[in-house]
Amino acid sequence: MKSTFFTILTLLALNVHADNNKEEAALTIGFGSENQPYTMMDKQMIRAEGHEKHFGIEYSIIKQATILMHYEIKPKPIPPRELKKSIKKFRGIDIISGVTRSRKDKLYYSDPILEIAHIAVSKNSLNAGINSISNLSGFNVIARTGSYATIKDGYGKLYHPKKGSHKHKYKEYDSNIKMHADFWKAGSEAVLITTKESFNHFRMLLAGTHDTNEDVTINEIFPTKTRLYVAFKNKQIRKEFNEALEDLKFEGTYSRIFDHYNHEKNPDFHRPNHNEIIRQLKTNP
Which pLDDT tens digits describe the chain residue by residue (285 residues)? 444 433 333 333 444 444 444 455 899 999 988 889 999 888 888 877 877 788 999 999 999 999 999 999 999 999 887 877 777 777 788 999 999 988 878 889 999 999 999 999 999 999 999 999 999 999 999 999 999 999 999 999 999 999 999 999 999 999 999 999 999 999 999 999 999 999 999 999 999 999 999 999 999 999 999 999 999 989 999 999 999 999 999 999 999 999 988 877 776 677 888 888 889 888 865
* Other beta carbons within 10 Å of 100: 15
> Residue 46 falls within a domain, yes or no?
no
- 103 with 238, same domain: the answer is yes
- 167 with 253, same domain: the answer is no
Q: Report yes or no: 229 and 100 within 8 Å, Cβ to Cβ.
A: yes
Minimal CA–CA distance to 169: which of 191, 151, 195, 147? 191
3-state secondary structure 84-96: HHHHHHCCCCCEE
- 89 with 147, same domain: the answer is no
Domain span including residue 190? 117-219
- 193 with 256, same domain: the answer is no
Of 195, 219, 243, the residue that ends a domain is 219
Looking at residue 232, its amino acid is F
* Close Cβ partners of 238 (under 8 Å, ≥ 6 residues apart): 108, 109, 110, 230, 232
CA angle 58, 63, 68 (to 5 degrees): 130
- 245 with 105, same domain: the answer is yes
CA angle 278, 217, 80 (to 5 degrees): 45
> Residue 273 falls within a domain, yes or no?
no
Minimal CA–CA distance to 153: which of 112, 117, 101, 200? 117
> Residue 148 falls within a domain, yes or no?
yes
| Domain count within the chain | 2
- Predicted structure pTM score: 0.85
CATH code (residue 127):
3.40.190.10
- 9 with 110, same domain: the answer is yes
- 121 with 106, same domain: the answer is no
> Residue 67 falls within a domain, yes or no?
yes
Helix-then-strand count for the chain, H and E? 10, 13
> Residue 281 falls within a domain, yes or no?
no
